[in-house]
Structures are given as C-alpha cells and as structure tokens.
Chain A
Amino acid sequence: MLMETAKPVPGAPTKAAAPAPAFDLVAALKSAAFSAIVTLGLGFPLLAYDTHPDISNALIVVPRWSWAIVAAVVVFAGRFLGLLLNARPRAAKRPQQLRVPSRGETLLKANLVWFALAALVAFPIVMLGLLGSGGSLKWINNYGIQILIYVMLGWGLNIVVGLAGLLDLGYVAFYAVGAYSYALLSTTYGLSFWICLPLAGILAAFWGMILGFPVLRLRGDYLAIVTLAFGEIIRIVLINWTDLTNGYAGIASIPRATFFGVPFVDDEGGFSRLFGIEYSPIQRTIFLFYVILALALLTNFVTLRLRRLPVGRAWEALREDEIACRSLGINTVNTKLTAFALGAMFGGFAGSFFAVRQGFVSPESFTFIESATILAIVVLGGMGSQIGVAIAATVLIGGTELLRELDFLKRIFGEGFDPVQYRMLIFGGGMVLMMIWRPRGIIATRQPSIFLKQRKAISSDMVKEGHG
C-alpha cells in the first residue's frame, strides 16, 4: 500500500486499500484490433492463398480467406484475454517461508547426479525388459543414442562457446572430421574403432587449432562468420574431393562396432555365443548406447575437472574480459587454442561414434543446420551449464523424435498432416518463448568453480542477482 505514504489530504477519505488498476476496455480493444490487423496483413500472403502444383506442374492458387480470418479472430481474442487477465490484480506474493526440506528430499538433491546416472545406465535394460527386443530398439536408438550424441556435441561446444566465449558456428566441421577419420581409417587400413577413436579426436583437435590460428584476433560476430565459413569449407571439400571421400555418395560399409574385437553376429565367435546368450541385433545397439554414454560422461568429466584447473578458469576469464586476462599475464593465444582444440576433439570423438553407428557417412550429415542445432542446445541450455545443455539436448532432439509419434493428430487434422513438418515452427516458437522468459538459458546460474571454505548453501542464491 504505497499510496498511504503520500501526504494525506485533510478531509479526503483515506483509502483502505489501493484500488485495483482499472481495466481500460477501449485501449484493450484497440490493442487487440491492431494485433488482428497485423495478423491479417501477415496472413494475406501466408495463409489466404494455398499454392500447390497440379499434375502438369503448373502452379494453382486456391484462395482460402477463411484461414486468414480465423487467424485474425484467434489473435484478437487472445490479445484481448491476455490484457484482461493481466489487468486483474495479482494475489500478493506470500512471504516465502523457510521450508525445511525433508530428509528424503535432501538425500535426493545431494545425489541427483548419481540417480540420473543410474537411471541412464539402467535405461536400455529396463526398456528391453518392458518392450522386448523389437519395441525397445526405437527407444534405445532413436531416443537414447541420438540424444546422447547431441548431449556430447553440446558439451563439446560448451567448452568453446560456453566457457571460453568464442562463438563457433562451424562446430559440425569437427564432427565431420571425426566421422570421416573413422570411415577412412577403418575402410582403408582396417583399423578398429578403439584405435580410430583417439586418432579421430587428435585429428579433429588438430583441425581445431588450424581454425584457431587465423581467428585469434577475432571476437563476436566476426568470429562467428569465419567459423561458419570454416564449417562450410570442410563440407564442400568433402563433397568435391571425390578421390578420397567419394563425394556426395559418401563412404558406405564402414565396419560396424564390435565388442572390443568380438563382432555382434549370430555366428561362431560372435558376442552372443561368447557369452552364451541368444543372439539379438539389439545387443549391438545397447553396446553403442553404453559407448556414447561413456564418451559423453568423459566429456563432462573432463570439462568439470578443467573448470577447476587454471586453464579452465582462464577460459572463463577470457570470456569475461580478454584485455584484463592479458594484463594478468594469461597467454590468451594458448588459452583460445586449447579451447578450440579440446572442443574440436570431443566433436571428433562424437563424429567417429556417429560413423560407427551409422556404418555410412556422407556430406549430407554435416550441414549448417547441425551446427545451428548444437549451438541452439548450448545457448538454450545456458552457456557454460553442463546440466542445462543436457536438458536442452533432450528437449530439442527428443522433442523432434517425439513429433514422429503424434499419430493421433492425423485424426484431428486429416490424413495429410505430418507433425514433423512443423518441427522448425515449433523450434522457432520455443526459441522466442525462451528469449522472453529465460533469456540466459534453462540454467542461467553459473556455479563458482572454487569456494572459500566450503560450499555454503546460501552462496548460490546470493550470486544469482545482477550481471551475468
């Protein structure tokens, strides 16, 4: 009741309570009408005409004004209701009581990471038990492995973008280098996956340094453009260097994953015979799941360790202020190059895994949209936050897969409706909403990497406000 602090006018009745802000009907109607007009204007080219080619491939334009009008009405009503609801006085925020968390809750919170890890390890087994070998394949492969690849890529890029603050739009290049390294080394020299994996990582790290050198002096937008170009260069080289890479056709029949040399075949000396279990193709998939889980956890572990070491803190300081870094005696050249190299290395690992999983690589898999997706995962997750990146990857990649499942929508919108086609629309809408409500990503709080004496419960709340 701020109003009462004003000087009371003698004679005037003192108000018992501040009046609810009056709802201005006319203004709300005006605003809603304006929104509707904008919608009509936009809808005129987008909705009011349906265009499609006929049998002779000529363009047919079918007017469908009702669509634009319905959209305008929906926007009008939505805007009006929004204003109406906003004008209602909100219930005063109750003073937050210090709630003492129960013992179970504390235990869960303290060990959340371990519970999540246990759940991940158990995931394929549980799925296999619940759905059988046929039904669980989709869940382990399309959801489990696919999401974990992007979690790993996100964590790799997080070193470059989230920690060191170097905006990299061409991260997919290192993914491609890793994938082609394994594809070429295994098909040409017959090297096994476990030998190729470190080689692919080293090669990708090497390319990371190659990219790093020319862009040392660049920051922000300029860096983004150059890395974008770098990503495209790698892809175009892969397309045109047909002698080595077989161009668009890609490299097929890449040796599949083996259980440390034991192939997953229904044969003498195969994995199933060795362990005396019945052969099932899902065994390889489950093995791949554990491989990518281990690789992703390695990425996370290395990143978390490095954050506590001088080099990791130098990355973060570099992101904050490059000039201050240099005047504190930090070699920014080395710092940037290690960030590029390490980020690229994990991209290379992931690429090499991608190749062994697919058994086929082609330049099609390494387009700019991949870079954009990985970057979106990092940005949406909250730059520098490992858990945020994992959540964002799950939502983004899992969400895309989930759209394939929404068959019931066909019953509502008709047979021709394919929810997957709306992926980008939903993706864009989600981005806009994130920008409004969580502009710094899902997990915006940066955890300090060191503590004075011990981790105080209060500290993370205190640092939440203000910049950053």
Chain B
Amino acid sequence: MTLLTEAAPARAAAPGREGAGKPMLSIRGVQTYYGKICALKGIDLDVNQGEIVTLIGANGAGKSTLMMTIFGNPRAREGSITYEGRDITQMATHEIARLEIAQSPEGRRIFPRMTVYENLQMGAAINKFAYFDQDLERAFTIFPRLKERAQQRGGTLSGGEQQMLAIARALMSRPRLLLLDEPSLGLAPLIVKQIFDVIRDLNKTEGLTVFLVEQNAFHALKLADRGYVMVNGLVTMSGSGQELLSRPEVRAAYLEGGH
C-alpha cells in the first residue's frame, strides 16, 4: 500500500526513469477555476512509475477537470504539476503531450470524418511516425476489431469501438503515462471488461503507468494499485484499491445501489 506521504519526499531527489514506485506525476495544491467558479480546490495526488492509479467520484466532482488540468487546458491557477521532476504547470498542451504522456479524453474525441487508420496515424504524429508500422500492428493485436474497421470513418464506429480507437490512438504515441478519462462511459459490461483487461495487460507487460478516472468505481478500484476519491473538487480519501473498496463510506456512496 502506497500512501500520499510516502511519495512526497521522493520527489525532491530527482526521480530516475526506471524502477517502479518512483513518482512520475505529482500534483500539489492544484486549484483550477472556470471563470470565478472554483472547480479544483487544492488537489494533492501522485502517480508512481508502473502503477495503475484511479480517481473516482460523483458527477461534477472535478475528475475530468483534473485530467484536463494535467494537460494544461484549463491551466491550474494555483499549485504545481510535476512530471518526472519537470514542472509542467505552465506548459502548452501539445508540449505536454510530447513528454510521452498520452490522453484518451472524456467523450473519446476521435476524429469522426477521418478513417480509423487516419485516426491512429494522428496518434503517431508526435514521434514522426518512427514506429508507425510496428505500433499499428500492436494496436490491431490489442483491438482486432479496429483492424476490421480500419478503412471506416471514426464516426461510423459503435461506442465501444470508438472507445477502443481512442485508447489505441493514445497508445500510438508510445506513452509512458496514459491518462484515461472514463473509458467505460456508456459501454456494455462485456466491453468494459475487455477494455479494463487491456489496461491491466499493458500495465503488466509493458510497465505502462496508468491514471484512470472512472465513475465505475467497483471495476476501477479492483483494477487499480491505488485510488483516490474526489468530492466537490477535493480529494477526501486515498489508499490501495482493495482498501478503498472495503471502506464503508466508499461502499455507501459509490458501490451500493449502483452494482
């Protein structure tokens, strides 16, 4: 079980790239505003190398806002976001993406009029298509369905296929940190399971660090090494996935009735 406090001191000693457990992304006291409305009221959160970290919370808690704030859109008004010892709080979104962080944003945001193949190609734009053929093969191995649909427009795919495409597109940039915003939204349980299996596999086999925002608390916490619970723009609880699952408050608010 890794707790918040353990991660903090390690941040000072510039973390190396290899070796699990070292903090990759640390968020300290981040406040984000939409105009005068305070959406994030000082968030502290860590994602360590090789972990799957999940953030759960109700609608409007600020989960997606945090996800977007990490990518600099909107920018944090207070606090700092550090990625591998580098302050990325004020960086432009596209520059953050070039630090090998990839995002599968809320609502998938695939390019509807472009084909599946073209969508995947856009994902590989960052590293100038250096590993495009290899990565394409990998994406098609992970999601065979996408290979069948390669020449089809993104907009003609079903919801689940679009979600697969969004994740596959994010993976095309060979990220070391993958941010996933509600990959289970609006999907059938079987497809949710498929997608979560893929996330687990990528984490196990390739050591991909994953930060997962979810409403589907049960699955997300089961999958995650650690979890955070967010309420009204504040992190109220954190701990290992198992620990959070057994907490009565979490059960009452996010699990019972829903599942």
Q: Which of B93, B128, B150 has the most CB of A within 10 A?
A: B93
Q: Report the nearest A residue to B105, measured CB to CB.
A: A327
Interface size on B, residues (CB 8 A): 35
User: Contact flags (1/0) for A73-88 with B, using CB distance below 8 Å?
Assistant: 0000000000000000
CB atoms of A317 and B122 under 8 A apart: yes
Assess the B117–A321 pair: CB atoms within 8 A: no
Q: How far is the CB of A459 from chain B (nearest CB, A)?
A: 4
Interface residues of B in 93-132 (CB under 8 A from A): 93-95, 97-98, 102-103, 105, 109-115, 117-118, 121-123, 125-126, 128-129
CB of B242 to closest CB in A, whole Å: 32
Indicate whether A326 sits within 8 Å of B152 (C-beta atoms), given known contacts A314-B125, A317-B122, A449-B118.
Answer: no
Check: A331 CB closer than 8 A to any chain B CB. yes
B118 in contact with A323 (CB, 8 Å): no
Q: Mark A314-333, 1 if CB is under 8 A from B, else 0.
A: 10110111011111111110
What's the least CB distance linking A277 to chain B, in Å? 52
Bound CA–CA A323/B156 (angstroms): 20
Alpha-carbon distance A330/B111, docked complex (angstroms): 14
The stretch from A386-394, A415-423, A450-458 touching chain B is: A450-458
CB distance B114 to A317 under 8 Å? yes
With contacts A316-B114, A324-B111, A328-B125 taken as known, whether A467 is within 8 angstroms of B151 at the C-beta atoms is: no
Name B94's contact: one of A332, A462, A467, A468 (CB within 8 Å).
Answer: A332
Q: Could you tell me if A468 and B118 are in contact, using CB atoms closer than 8 angstroms?
A: no
Inter-chain CA distance A255–B219, complex, in Å, is 76
B155 neighbours in A (Cβ, 8 Å): 466-468
Whether the pair A468, B153 counts as a contact (CB closer than 8 A) is yes
Docked complex Cα distance between A463 and B111 (Å): 13
Q: How distant is the Cα of A463 from the Cα of B125 in the complex, in angstroms? A: 23
Given the known A-B contacts A317-B122, A450-B121, are A328 and B169 also in contact in the complex, defined by CB atoms under 8 Å?
Answer: yes
A368 to chain B, nearest CB (A): 29
Bound state CA distance, A465 and B122, in angstroms?
22
- The one of A319, A323, A330, A451 that contacts B109, using a Cβ cutoff of 8 Å: A323
> Is A313 close to B, CB under 8 A?
yes
Which has the most chain B C-beta neighbours within 10 Å: A448, A449, A451, A462? A448
| Bound Cα distance A451, B117 (Å) | 8
Interface residue ranges of A421-468 to B (CB < 8 Å): 446, 448-452, 456, 459, 462-463, 465-468
Determine the residue in chain A with the shortest Cβ distance to B128. Answer: A310
Residue B90 at the chain A interface, CB threshold 8 Å: no
Within the assembled complex, what's the spacing in Å between the Cα atoms of A6 and B103? 50
- Closest residue of B by beta carbon distance from A384: B113
Chain B, range 131-163, C-beta contacts under 8 Å to A: 150-153, 155-156
- Say which residue of A310, A323, A450 sits within 8 Å of B125 (CB atoms): A310
Known A326-B97, A327-B71, A328-B123: A450·B117 in contact at CB below 8 Å: yes
Cβ contact within 8 Å between B114 and A320:
yes
Chain A residues with CB under 8 Å of B95's CB are 329
Residues of A within 8 A of B (CB): 310, 313-314, 316-317, 319-321, 323-332, 446, 448-452, 456, 459, 462-463, 465-468
The 8 residue pairs across chains A and B that have the minimum distance between CB atoms: A467-B155, A329-B97, A468-B113, A466-B156, A320-B111, A329-B126, A324-B109, A326-B93
